[in-house]
Chains A and B, each alone.
Chain A
Amino acid sequence: MALALAAHGVEKRYGAVEALRGVSLEVAAGELVGLLGPNGAGKSTLVKIACGLVHPSAGRVEVCGAPAGSPRARRALGYLAELFRFPGWMTADEVLTLHQRLAGKGADAGTRKELLERVGLAEARTRPVEEMSKGMQQRLGIAQALVGSPRLLLLDEPTSALDPAGRRDVRGLLDDLRRAGIGVLLNSHLLTEVELVCDRVVILSRGDVVAAGRPDELSRPRGVEVDVDGGTRAYPAATRDEVPAIVRDLVAAGEDVYGVRVLATSLEEVYLEAAGGEDA
């Protein structure tokens, strides 16, 4: 199956600022990729290049096999910008109607209702945007990105304003999309969320990919901790396979064992290490 998104050696310079320095990344159909990185790493720039808003200085980006920015590529994608706004005078339903017309799929009221229900805005269908809270606007933004049944979704910090229930809803939504074969590139600073939903993560720092892989691949073993009578004993070099032997030895030595933990670096630690800890 064709890749939903393929970027090869993408570079972007804004005057003297090198926002991207040769970034390559792929999102397969039905794959959820998290794009992480400190402020100014180039995440939004990469996403904007993919949807044709920004022109790359070098490199090539394809959306479902079509060059980024081409009408065919734009037809295949849904985009939620990091900083977006819908005109305050429009109602939720009108925003979606306009986008349905622009997507050329016909203004179907049933689909709109379904989309609004999916993001928990069913009650706010006729409410003007200017009377919506920030999180409600973000929910509407997510619904807007889904208009036109895209095969690639580019979501730039889609949950930054959402409440915990909203975030859980979005996680559920992303799972549904994955099952439907839609590729998703998700920019986020919420590492636990990314860890929970993403198949793969790519970490950018200063315009370069500094780490990429499945969350469990990226994390490294950090030893074993055992709770005994006198407190906690640490075995920093030990792995999961060595746990039975460690416990056997402790028991043989007359210790009572209360608990055993196999430690691994969290995505946060991986992230902080890869990004050089500059995202303090």
Chain B
Amino acid sequence: MTAVTAVALHTLQEALRRRVFLVVLVLTVAFLGLFWLGVDRAFDEALRFADGSELLEIEVAVGATLLGLAMFATLFLGTVLAIFLTLGAVRGDAERGTLQPLVVRPIGRSTFLLARFLGAAAVCTLYVVGVFTAAAGIVRTAGGWWPDEFFAPTLELAAAVVLLCALSLLGSVFLSTTANGIAVFMLFGAGLTGGLLGQIGEAMNSETLIDVGRRTAYALPFEALYQDGLHRLTSETFGAAAFVVRLGPFGGAEAAGGGLFAWIVVYVGLVALAAGTAFARRDL
């Protein structure tokens, strides 16, 4: 086994063994249970008032909105997990004294960081894919609705969380555990707010707000990924249902241009470079 695999597996093992992971699991199960209950009721109530001709449209509107909500919840929970797995990776662990014995080994600092990233990214991807698939399954079982696209939004959601892993690792080079946790959460909030402002801008036709949204999307592209994923849930839906979905908080999402994906590759590269350089210079 190579050293990279060893460190990545160590991250995975740590996630599984620490009791906090159990808490995440319990909360996730609780969320999915509540979600199921909510979805079941929502479909029941919505369909009770519908006559035959509207049936399909209402199913779409309710399903898309609820899955959009689940997408947001998954992003949130995934972000919590991502932060938890990475927030103390460098400075926090150095202060605890667990980092030094590892990085004096031949693996080297940048490879170590990469391995930590791969481990956390793997855990988060599995988690996000699992939770979102479960949510989509619930919507389908309870209301018979399935999104227009499923794989792409799931992957985008996972990518958004992986991006937050990278940001949190970068933060961990500079900040102690608590400070980094707070900082990444603030970035998460800032990204969401920026995206929301952009959406409001679109609705109000305000160039300034649209600009704020666009700039935020560049600075914190996880939000753009999430928006694009949200958009794809109903990418082939038109007419009244689409109109209703887009009025709600979990609709109206913007499709990202192809430039987004190119930018994300560059972005992750820049984050990795910054983290690697800063870590290499640090006295431990």
State the Cβ distance, A183 to closest chain B Cβ, in Å.
16
Interface size class of A (residues with CB under 8 A): 20 to 34
Docked complex Cα distance between A144 and B10 (Å): 16
**Chain B CB within 10 Å, residue with most, of A14, A51, A98, A103:** A98
Contact indicator A53/B283 (Cβ below 8 Å): yes
A87 to B101 alpha-carbon distance, docked (Å): 11
Q: Which residues of B contact A55 (CB under 8 A)?
A: 281, 283
Does any Cβ of A come within 8 Å of B108's Cβ? Answer: yes
Would you call B64 an interface residue if the criterion is a C-beta within 8 Å of the partner chain's C-beta atoms?
no
B283 touches A87 (CB 8 A): no
Q: Which of B72-80, B92-100, B119-127, B157-165 contacts A (4 or more CB under 8 A)?
A: B92-100
Partner of B97, one of A54, A75, A81: A81
Among candidates A77, A87, A104, A141, residue contacting B104 with C-beta atoms closer than 8 Å: A77
Is there contact, CB below 8 Å, between B106 and A71?
yes
Which of B18, B96, B98, B105 interacts with A99 by CB under 8 Å?
A: B105
The answer to whether the Cβ of A271 comes within 8 Å of any Cβ in the partner chain is: no
Asked if A54 and B7 sit within 8 Å, CB to CB, the answer is: no
The residue in chain B whose Cβ has the minimal distance to the Cβ of A103 is: B105
Whether the pair B106, A74 counts as a contact (CB closer than 8 A) is yes
Residues of B near A99 (CB, < 8 A) are 101, 105
**Residue A102 at the chain B interface, CB threshold 8 Å:** yes
> Smallest CB–CB gap between A192 and chain B, Å?
27
> Are the C-beta atoms of A102 and B97 separated by less than 8 Å?
no
- Closest Cβ of chain A to B61, distance in Å, is 47
**Are A54 and B100 CB-contacts (below 8 A) given A71-B108, A102-B7?**
no
Question: Nearest chain B CB to A16's CB is how many angstroms away?
Answer: 15
Q: Which residues of B contact A98 (CB under 8 A)?
A: 6, 10, 102
Q: Closest residue of chain A to B284, judged by CB? A: A53
Judging by beta carbons under 8 Å apart, are A102 and B6 in contact? yes
Q: Quick check: A83 and B106 within 8 Å, CB to CB?
A: no
Q: A53-B283, A55-B281, A89-B17 are in contact. Are A102 and B107 (CB under 8 A)?
A: yes
* Docked-complex contact B102 and A102, CB < 8 angstroms: yes
Q: How far is the CB of A15 from chain B (nearest CB, A)?
A: 11
Structural contact, A84 and B97, CB atoms closer than 8 A: yes
Q: Is the CB of A81 within 8 A of B101?
A: yes
Contact A84–B284 (Cβ < 8 Å):
no
B8 nearest CB across to chain A (Å) = 11
Whether A89 contacts B101 by the Cβ 8 Å rule is no
A52 interface residue (CB < 8 Å to B): yes
Of the candidates A71, A74, A87, the one whose C-beta lies within 8 Å of that of B98 is A87
Residues of B within 8 A of A141 (CB): 101
**Which listed residue, B1, B10, B17, B103, touches A107 by the CB 8 Å rule?**
B1
Give the docked Cα–Cα distance between A48 and B94 (Å). 13
* Residues 5-56 of B at the A interface (beta carbon under 8 Å): 5-7, 10, 14, 17-18
B273 at the interface (CB under 8 A from A): no
Asked, given contacts A53-B284, A74-B105, whether A81 binds B10 with beta carbons under 8 Å apart, the answer is: no
A104 touching B3 by the CB < 8 A rule? yes
Q: Nearest chain-B residue to A85 (Cβ)?
A: B97
Q: Hey, which chain B residues are within 8 Å of A87, CB to CB?
A: 14, 98
**Is A168 positioned at the interface, with any CB of B under 8 Å from its CB?**
no
Within 8 A of B (CB), among A146-171: 148
The residues of B that contact A84 with a CB separation of less than 8 Å are: 97-98, 100-101
- Inter-chain CA distance A85–B17, complex, in Å, is 17
A248 interface residue per 8 A CB criterion? no
Closest chain-A Cβ to B1's Cβ sits at a distance in Å of 5
Q: Which of A82-105 contact B (CB under 8 A)?
A: 83-87, 89, 98-99, 101-104
CA distance A55 to B283 in the complex (A): 6
Is A54 a contact partner of B283 (Cβ separation < 8 A)? yes
Q: Which residue of B lies closest to A101 (CB)?
A: B6
Chain A residues with CB below 8 A from B1, complex form = 101, 107
Question: Which residues on B sit within 8 Å (CB–CB) of A148?
Answer: 105
Which of A53, A79, A81, A141 lies at the interface centre, i.e. has the most chain B CB atoms within 10 A of its CB?
A: A53
What 11 additional pairs, Cβ within 8 angstroms, besides A53-B104, A71-B108?
A: A53-B100, A54-B283, A74-B106, A83-B97, A85-B96, A85-B97, A87-B98, A89-B17, A99-B105, A102-B102, A103-B106
Interfacial residues, chain B to chain A (CB-CB below 8 A): 1-3, 5-7, 10, 14, 17-18, 96-98, 100-108, 281, 283-284
5 nearest interchain CB pairs? A101-B6, A102-B105, A89-B17, A85-B97, A53-B284
Q: List 10 A-B contacts (CB under 8 A).
A: A53-B284, A54-B284, A74-B106, A77-B104, A81-B101, A85-B97, A87-B98, A101-B2, A103-B106, A148-B105
